[in-house]
Structure 1
Amino acid sequence: MPDDDGIKQNAYEKFYLKVFGIIDAPVTYFKEKVVEPLHEKNKTYYYHRRLRRVPTIDECDVGDEVCFFEANEQYKRDKNVDDQILIILRERRLECEHWYGLTDREDKCRKVREDYETATTNWFTKYGDLGPAPNVRAAYFKQKHRMIWERRHGPVGTGMGSPPVEQ
C-alpha cells in the first residue's frame, strides 16, 4: 500500500509511523494551540532596543536643556556603536594577519587593513582629542572648528598654505 508520496511501506515503517503519530499528536496539538498563540501575542521583533533618532545639537534651541540632554545621549549611543565597529574591524584585521602569517599578510589582508585604517581615521576625526568625558557640545565645536580651518587653509593635513583665492 503506497503512502502519501507514492512509496510502498513495509510493516515496520507503518508501525513506526503509527507509534510516532501517537507520541507526536499531543505535542503538536500543544504547540499549535498553546505555544504559538502565546508567541503571536508576545511577539518581539528585535533583540535590542530601537530608540528613535532625536534632534542633533545644531537643531536644538538656545537654552533647551532637554534637547541638549537628548542630543548628548544620542551622541553617547552613536559613539558606543562606532567603538564596537572599530573593535570588530580590529579583530578582523588581527585574525587575518594571524591566519596568513608574516609572508602572505601584506597581499591577503590589504582590504581588511585599509578598512580598519579608514575607520580609525574617521573615528579620530569625529571623537579624537575630546578628552576623557566627551559630550555632544565638544564634538560639535570640534566639527565647527575643523570646518573653519578647512575653509581658511584647505583640507586638514595639507599644511598651512596660503588661503584660497576668492573670485
Structure 2
Amino acid sequence: MPQDYDKDAYPEPPRQTPVVDKQTALPNPALILSKLFYYSVDLPVTTFRGIIEGIQGDKKSHYYHQNFRRVSELTECQEGDYICYYEAEMQWRRDYKVDQEIVKVIQERLRACQQREGPSYTQNCSKELQQFNQVSKCFQSRYGDLGAYASSRKCLMKQKERMMAEAQNA
C-alpha cells in the first residue's frame, strides 16, 4: 500500500489471525464421534482391504460391472421348475432395464440433435428421428400395456396373443 492512503477509510489489517474464543470447556461431540468411527470402523476395514489387495496383486476385481450368463427363457423351463422360472424372470427384468436405457440413449441423441439444429431438425436429424421411431416402436410392441406389475409371463402372453392375431390376419 502506498504511504499516503487514508487511514480512516482503509485501516491496516491485523497482523495475526485472532484466536476464536471458546464458549465452553467441553469438547466437541461431533469431533469425538468422528474420531471414534474412524478408529473403530474405518481404519481396521481399510487396513484389512489393503492387506487383501496386497495379497491379490495383479488379480484386482472390479465391482462396477457384473456379467450375468444367459439362462433359458420361460418357454424352455420344465413344468414346476421354480428355479428356472426365477432365473428367467430375473433375466427378463435385466433385459427390460437394458431396453429402457437403450430408448433413453436414443432419445437423448435425438434431443441433442434437435437442440443443435433448431427449427430445421426434421430435415437435418432424419436419421436420429427414424432410429428413435424404430426403437420406440419395438419397445412399445414388446413391453407396452404390461402395466405396473410387468413380468416375463405377462410379456410372453402378450407376445403369444400378438402372434395369434397376426396369424388370423394373414
- Does the TM-score normalized on the shorter chain lie above 0.5? yes
Stretches (4+) displaced over 6 A:
none
2:156 partner amino acid: Y
d(CA) in 1 for partners of 2:125, 2:164: 37
Q: If the length of structure 2 is used for normalisation, what is the TM-score?
A: 0.64
Q: Choose from 55, 58, 65 the match for 2:75.
A: 58
> C-alpha separation between the residues in 1 aligned to 2:144 and 2:153?
14
**1:69 pairs with 2:86:** yes
1:135 to 142, 151, 154: 151
Which one of 134, 137, 142 corresponds to residue 118 of structure 1?
A: 134
% same residue: 32
CA distance in 2, matches of 1:105, 1:75: 35
Larger radius of gyration: 2
Structure 1 length-normalised TM: 0.66
The count of corresponding residues between Structure 1 and Structure 2 is 118
1:59 aligned partner, one-letter code:
E
Which runs of no fewer than 5 residues in structure 1 stay unpaired? 1-34, 155-167
The CA deviation at 1:37 is 9.2
User: Considering only aligned residues, what root-mean-square deviation do their CA atoms show, in Å?
Assistant: 2.0
> Which runs of no fewer than 5 residues in structure 2 stay unpaired?
1-52
Which residue number in structure 2 is paired with residue 16 of structure 1?
none
Deviations along 1:121-167, one digit per CA (max 9) or x if unpaired, are 0001100011111001000111111111111113xxxxxxxxxxxxx
Q: Displacement, 1:47? A: 3.8
1:109 aligns with 2:125: yes
Supply the AA of the counterpart residue of 1:125: S
Q: Deviations over 1:15-35 (max 9, x none)?
A: xxxxxxxxxxxxxxxxxxxx9
- Given candidates 63, 80, 84, the residue that maps to 2:101 is 84
What's the CA shift for 1:41? Answer: 2.6
CA distance in 2, matches of 1:59, 1:136: 13
